[in-house]
Amino acid sequence: MVDHYTNKMDGMVAIVTGASRGLGRAIAKEFAAEGAKVMVSARRNSPTGLAGTAVETAEAIRLRGGEATALTCDVSNEEQVMFMVGQTLDIYGRIDVLVNNAGIMVLGKTLLDIVPEEWDESVAANLRGPYLCSRAVLPTMIEQKKGSIINIGSRMGSSHEQAGGVLYSATKAAVHMFSLCLAEEVREHNIAVNILSPGGLKTEGSAAIPWTQGDWERRVEPEAVGPSAVYLAVQDAAAFTGQLVNRSDFGETWGV
């Protein structure tokens, strides 16, 4: 039996990118627990060698009684993105939610340390990916006259004092502005676009960063982000859009 809470997403179809581990996996599992059918997307292998696959996430969802399909997709590759969206429509017939979670985190390197190939790879994953995925799902959402796009932001994209560095902070700041502008573009079609900043998490990726050990105990498990992601998933433009929200404030200043 799946651990349904209130079936808030019953009948909905969601795509979650970068769902092989960490935050993406937690969001995909939470969506399924709330009744959604989930397309679990991730690259075949982590560029940093971290464990976890989309297949494993989908299997974990199905073991709990949920419905999920795993698919390999590099979000910076237009052909693969279009195939992912096409497969979702072929299997489930609609797309209600897109979570642009896939990305690359490069921290602790100065501008002179970062080689051009590394810069381009991060921009491709962190900014081109949300652009391609959003562009691919929007025709369907416009036809449905409803949808929700959730872009994973970061406090490092809002404050230079958060130690994101020139590359990661620049890409996340770009995602923030991309989202706010897109929200205005698609408001007339009743499509919500919001940015969810999860805060410090205890993920496999974070564990590999030495300086995170200093605040490890203050970080939360990625599962803590699930309820706030569900809240954003069920919104439309008439209800809640064009917002940059912090997971830590959920239930207090938003989502009440």
- Annotated catalytic residues are 168
Q: What contacts 58, CB < 8 A, 6 or more positions away?
A: 38, 40, 68, 69, 70
**Helices assigned H by DSSP within the chain:** 22-33, 54-63, 78-92, 116-123, 129-144, 165-186, 204-207, 226-233
E strand or H helix that includes residue 112: none
Give the HSE-up count for residue 35: Cα atoms under 13 Å, Cβ half-sphere.
12
Distance CA 100, CA 56 (A): 19
Distance CA 43, CA 27 (A): 17
Which residue has 């994209």 as its token pair? 157
Helix, strand, coil shares, percent, the chain, to 5: 50, 15, 35
